[in-house]
Structure 1
Amino acid sequence: MDYSVQFALADGPEVMHPPRHGLMHVFPYGPHMIERLDGLSGMACQLLQEATAALQRRDAATTLQRATALHALAPKHPESLRLFAAIARLQGRAEDAIALLREAAAARPADTLVLGNLAHALAERNRFDEAIGLLRRCVAAEPANHGHALALAQMLERADDIEAAAAVLRDVLDQRPALVPARLALARTHFMLGRTDEAIAQYRRVLADAPDTVAAWYGLSNLREPPFDDDDVAAIERLHARADLPDHARASIGFALARAYEARGRHADAWPVLESANATWRKHQHWDGAKMSGHVRATTAAFAGMPAGDGERGAGLVFIVGLPRSGSSIVEQILAAHPEVSAGGERLDLPTIIREESERRERDFPAWVADAGDADWARLGDDYLGRIDTARAGRRVFTDKGLLNWLYLGALRRMLPGARFVDCRRDPLETCIACYRQMFARDLGFAYDIDDLARFWHDYDAAMGHWRALHDGAILAVSHEQLTAAPDQHIRRLLEFCSLPFDERSLRFHESTRGVRTLSAEQVREPLRANTARAYLYGHHVDRLRALLAARPD
């Protein structure tokens, strides 16, 4: 493929999207890394480094100009290929990026930087097994470089093998006990595995040596009952008052301070801190609420009157949908406790399939929906089934809790007509307040602004109303409040909807030891609480959000 043509055409700043992973590990040029440029002419070296610098500062026009010139001089040099791959990733051409990095890896099979870049590119396509294998090669090749082990642990965590991630981190800490990133990551794995005491111990050990470690305070604040005393609150306040914190740290310590105030019953003090933390982090979110609303309307309109596909393809699949903090993790944990269920967690297979089909058709979803025939939908459904086959492990039921799967429900009814959908509902005000109190690991830009939150809730509610009108028998609404008030009744109803025989273990879901990679990792290990409302604690501060949720959207 002649990538110079694509570089020349993609000449606007809008083609550069924020990557999921930083670029510093991609281009580490410095005096000790200059040997990576061996084989390039002086002019090619200059172009490469100028393109790299422009890429770091998101200057798309300069990046593409220098990259096109570099392609003419050194199209096959491994460093050129890595640059072209980074540009492809930022342009959303993930498969092209993977192909370029494979070519670079063939030229430098022992180059751990190339292998690591390829691993991250593969992970963006949910190819975790291959990505993990590449990172294990990096660890074996350079055992003293603990960055490889940390990357491996992170990849194992993303692949839901949290015990394996914890084992890797323990090995690292055996060699370097003072390595703070490894200890923070180990604390997080303990949290996911329900080992709260161990998580606290790891965070406290970090703070004992470095009391200004924002990530440790933030990690403790995410516990269901943050273990903060008055001295802790004072320490967090001092850190929050510092003027030299970058925005990510400022927002993180702000959320932690708000939780600390809440833990001490100081909700009136917590609210302005929450407002400040959300406003700080909102500046870094690429979110357009009006555009999202338009996309939702276009998607529901594209499937209006369109029937589900024929047959039972996808039977046994349960897509759990809902806003964050709406009780979806508990619903999945209830199902996961059943011996005939394999829980897939928050998977990205479906958005990936839709994106790849859009790339193939060179049109964004849902513009191509009207042109897709039965054979196309069947092909996409078979693609999904192939991606989850190993994870399903032959179980009768498989759950997928992808956060945005509700947007694709119409497509899923064409792709996998035998699938079922659980619509997780919680009081809208409680749901939105719970989102507003949290700094999410993923890009959920709507969560940091009251207007955006209300608008997103209305989008979800309208979309689910549309899907229910079309496919009512395939959708079960589960109210969090009703579930917690009468667990036995609603758990039996849920199992019946999923064509599962009743099993007592689903009533005792909190006894499960499976790893949970969501903020509800502690909550799902406790019996259901009948009253989880907290919006009232903020009094008049939530009046505006309440009004926005009650109003009809434009």
Structure 2
Amino acid sequence: MSTKNNGQANALIQEVYKVIKTNIQQAKFSEAILLCQKQLAADLPDNDRIEVLYLLVVAQRLQGEHHGALESNKMLLELNAEHARAWQENGYLYSAMGEHLKAAQAFYQATQLNPALLSSWRAIQPLYDKQGNSKAAAIAKGQVEYLAALPSAVLGATDLMYEGDLHTADRICRQFLQTKKHHAEAMLLLAEIGIQLKVYGEAEFILSSCIELYPQNKVAGMAYLKLLAKMAKFAEAKTLADKLLVASPSNAILLCAKASAMVGLGEVKGAISIYQDLLQQNQDQPGIQLLLGHALKAQGDLSAAIAAYQRAYHFNNELGDAYWSLANTKTYHFSDAELAAMEALVSKPKVSLENRIHLHFALGKSLEDRKSFDAAFAHYAKGNQLKQQQIKYNPDAFEGQVAKQIETCRPELFARLQAVGEQSADPIFIVGLPRAGSTLLEQILASHSKVDGTMELHDILGLASKLQGQKNQYPAILSDLDKGYFARFGQKYLQDTHVYRAGAPFFIDKMPNNFLHIGLIKLILPNAKVIDARRDSMACCFSGFKQLFGDGQEFSYGLEDIGRYYRAYEKLMSHWDSVLPGFVLKVQHEALIDDLHGQVQRILDFCGLPFEQQCIDFHKTERAIKTPSSEQVRQPIYRTGMDQWKNFESHLSALKDVLSKGA
């Protein structure tokens, strides 16, 4: 369908929504129901179907058709299990039918998905009172008082944020802050909206300002800690955690935040001690067991990590992340009992969406290990489908970013700004797609006596985000910046990453997504080295599709999306080779496996490093590794993963079709 036809269809459905809503407001419920049913008989996109179903549920409830409304809502929640207002409708329906326990459960689910639903909090409080659950009733009462006291604009913007309308929420919040410049809740809300929009630099400024203005505001402190961790600013996060711990030295959340920052800084033993101290007081803390497992895995103590993950699901048998963390070791094999437990859990409606996503990916890996490939793919596909409900990835937007890089980063730009950046040759960037072999390349280079391995550093991404700003200025702004900025940016990068180094002359920055910013890297660090970790397209894309990432990589949860991303990546890498010849070394994963010695020599020559045998014996190098490939690179080279995608070939036609079209 053309863009014009799409626009006409959208305008038409919006007009229909307006009529249905007017009918509901005028108590013409039968007319509203008939109009909804007429729309649902048509071939609607999922988003429109969800909206019409919601209006149908409301009309049916107000008409007194409780059972019909529940059936309509069931269809809605099958399309979007995280629709907070649909859960709220279930709460109203069960209350009207006298099923108070089910009503309380539905209202609770609504408040978990959208904590700004004041109506649900008000409805759930008396239900908790009836159950004699005084603790839950007190929490609900406190939330009602907190939300009711918020200015209407802030409450409305908060609601919009949780409903996913980030740009409207952002606009309303900014308008409010023009009149109430230092309103704490509004500042915190604007920062949270910024985080969800991935404008991390602005969110960081708002939160740091909020803490300056309100040093006793614990919510601001915790929000800032979370953001620093998300931005991988672990040194700052550890410092802030220590500062906040002065007032609350035994606060488990702050201690865990400090320990997580320490893992990020490579201080893994100290972090493990903190987790173990907390668990010594009480083992029944599944979240901390999970964090302990991650730290032990990063340290290389896999058996202890597995035991921690098992304790995590022992104390919370619905904790999908514990099962996925076991699967994500890539070496763990689930027992029949564990497999049966996961299969039972994933079909329970009360299990949260987040837990079900983790369980589906874990089941996919477990069944793949058992060579039940069709059943495994069904779980991978369902996990990816559910994950897509949580994210709003737009492949057109990413392809637009690539087009802007190609348009801006022309030979004349680099000729005009030649050698204006910081001249240090210390950084070695490893870029590419996730699951393309970048961790193996990092382990090989980090085994060299003159190279420090670090982690996936976020500094280049952070700089790009700051240059982007609110007005989408990046990368076009590179043409307009004063020449002096580039050296300062390079110096700042070296200064901020120094904390991750251990004294070697060179260090690795293994952030795969930096391939989008190679032009920026060349301008601020012209003598850096860049290595492109490349892998067969089908193997790489399907490996990404099977992987549940901790954060980011939103493109990986759809076969067409990941195929389009791979093609855009290939197109951009070809552009960099054209405008920056010799700046990037492509290392093909399959060639590395076939000729380890020859490829290692080639990599070391590119980096200006003498040959060292320990680069061949990389699996013997002991260092903390936090990526999904951590256990694989602690083994010698193996070929078993090269053709795994062929076991699923009958399910991958959508991916093949996209990849066959070329860049």
Q: Normalization by structure 2: what TM-score?
A: 0.72
- Could you list the per-position Cα deviations for residues 345-366 of structure 1 after superposition, in whole angstroms to 9, with x for gaps in the alignment? 2111011112222339x54212
Q: Which moved more, 1:47-56 or 1:439-448?
A: 47-56
Secondary structure at the aligned position of 1:472 is classed as: coil
1:349 counterpart (449, 456, 459): 459
| 8 A contact 2:419–2:526 mirrored in 1 | yes
Aligned to 2:432: 322
Note if 1:513 corresponds to 2:619: no
Residue 287 of structure 2 is aligned to residue 177 of structure 1: no
Q: Structure 2 matches for 1:148-547, cutoff 5 A?
A: 148-306=254-412, 307=414, 309-310=418-419, 313-359=423-469, 362-372=471-481, 374-533=483-642, 534-547=644-657
Distance in 1 (alpha carbons) for counterparts of 2:584 and 2:553: 25
2:114–2:163 CA contact under 8 A, matched in 1: no
Q: For 1:444 and 1:141, how far apart are their aligned partners in 2? A: 37
RMSD: 3.3
For the structure 1 residues 90 and 247, does the alpha-carbon distance in structure 2 shift closer, same or farther, using more than 3 Å as the test?
A: closer
Gap change, CA 1:418 and 1:542, over 3 Å in 2: same
Deviations 1:435-464 (A, max 9, x none): 111111122121111111111111111111
Q: What is the Cα deviation at residue 191 of structure 1?
A: 1.8
Greater share of helix residues, 1 or 2? 2
> What is residue 82 of structure 2 aligned with on the other side?
none
Equivalent pair of 1:320/1:400 in contact (CA under 8 Å): yes
Kindly indicate whether residue 245 of structure 2 is the aligned counterpart of residue 139 of structure 1. Answer: yes
Deviates further, 392-401 or 314-323: 392-401
- The verdict on how the C-alpha distance between 1:509 and 1:368 changes in structure 2, with shifts beyond 3 A counting, is same
- What is the aligned partner in structure 2 of residue 115 from structure 1? 221
Q: Name which of structure 1's ranges 162-171 and 272-281 shifts more when overlaid on structure 2.
A: 162-171
The alignment-based identity, stated in percent, is 26
Kindly tell me: are residues 442 and 357 of structure 1, through their superposed partners in 2, closer, same or farther at Cα, counting changes over 3 Å?
same
2:587 alignment partner, SS class: strand
Aligned-pair CA distance for 1:323? 0.6
Quote the Cα distance in structure 2 between the aligned partners of 1:23 and 1:210: 20
TM-fit CA distance, 1:379: 3.0
Deviation at 1:175, TM superposition (A): 1.6
Q: In structure 1, how many angstroms separate the alpha carbons of the residues matched to 2:392 and 2:623? A: 33
Q: Which blocks of at least 5 consecutive residues in structure 2 are unaligned?
A: 1-111, 122-136
Is this contact kept in 1: 2:445–2:615, CA < 8 A?
yes
Following the alignment from structure 2 to structure 1, what is the Cα–Cα distance between the partners of residues 198 and 480? 23
When residues 407 and 119 of structure 1 are mapped into structure 2, their CA distance, relative to the original with a 3 A threshold, is: same
1:344 counterpart SS class: strand
- Whole-Å separation in 1 of the counterparts to 2:649 and 2:626: 32
2:530 partner SS: strand
**Residue type of the alignment partner of 2:211:** A
Q: Measure, in 1, the Cα distance between the counterparts of 2:246 and 2:117.
A: 22
- Structure-2 separation of matches of 1:454 and 1:75: 45
Counterpart-to-counterpart distance in 1, 2:546 and 2:216: 45
Identify unmatched segments of 5+ residues in structure 1.
1-21
The one-letter code matched in structure 2 to 1:485 is D
Q: Is the CA contact (8 Å cut-off) linking 1:50 and 1:66 kept in structure 2?
A: no
Structure 2 CA distance for aligned equivalents of residues 35 and 551 of structure 1: 57
Does the residue aligned with 1:321 lie in a helix, a strand or coil?
A: strand
Asked whether the 8 Å contact 2:201–2:462 carries over to 1, the reply is no
Query: What does residue range 56-67 of structure 1 map to in structure 2 within 5 Å?
Result: 56-58=162-164, 61=168, 65=172
| Deviating more after overlay: 498-507 vs 241-250 | 241-250
Q: Take 1:371 and 1:68, find their aligned partners in 2: how far apart are those partners?
A: 30
Closer, same or farther: CA 110–37 of 1 in aligned 2, 3 Å: farther
CA distance in 2, matches of 1:33, 1:339: 58
Larger radius of gyration: 2
2-structure distance, mates of 1:34, 1:102: 30
Q: Secondary structure, in 3 states, of the residue corresponding to 2:508?
A: strand
How many matched pairs?
528
Cα distance 1:116–1:314, how it changes in 2: closer, same or farther (>3 A)?
Answer: same
SS, match of residue 314 in structure 1: coil
Quote the offset at 1:334 in angstroms: 0.8
Is this contact kept in 1: 2:453–2:508, CA < 8 A?
yes
For 1:515 and 1:333, how far apart are their aligned partners in 2?
Answer: 10
Distance across 1 between alignment mates of 2:459 and 2:484: 19
Structure 1 residues 322-359: Cα deviation after superposition (integer angstroms, max 9, x where no partner): 11100000100111111211223211101111222233
Match of 1:435, as an amino acid? G
One-letter amino acid of the structure 2 residue matched with residue 541 of structure 1: H
Deviation at 1:208, TM superposition (A): 3.5
Hey, what does 2:7 align to over in structure 1?
A: none
Provide closer, same or farther for how the CA distance between residues 425 and 62 of structure 1 changes in structure 2, counting only shifts above 3 A. Answer: closer
Describe the shift of the 1:418–1:26 C-alpha distance in structure 2 as closer, same or farther (beyond 3 A).
farther
- 3-state SS of the aligned residue for 1:441? coil
